[in-house]
């Protein structure tokens, strides 16, 4: 629903997100939805005195179209 709005209604070319690098379930879920890793950011955020690594993931409109067709057939 969110990706459909981004690509179909808003006409965006790319959607990206940041997820904690230690969030294996999140990384897997986003990958299953067509997102791919663009990069790792070391010590990107501080939480309770500890620094967290983050992973940037994105999906571009042509990849979304291929993914969407594949998952709806």
Residues with active-site annotation: 30
Are the beta carbons of 19 and 54 closer than 8 angstroms?
Answer: yes
CA–CA distance, 23 with 29 (Å, rounded to integer):
10
Which of 61, 53, 55 shows the shortest CA–CA distance to 30? 55
């Amino acid at each position: 629903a969110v990706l459909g709005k981004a690509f179909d209604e808003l006409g965006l070319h790319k959607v990206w997100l940041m997820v904690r690098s230690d969030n294996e379930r999140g990384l897997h879920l986003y990958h299953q939805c067509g997102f791919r890793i663009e990069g790792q950011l070391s010590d990107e955020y501080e939480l309770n005195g500890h620094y967290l690594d983050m992973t940037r993931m994105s999906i571009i409109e042509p990849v979304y179209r291929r993914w969407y067709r594949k998952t709806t057939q």
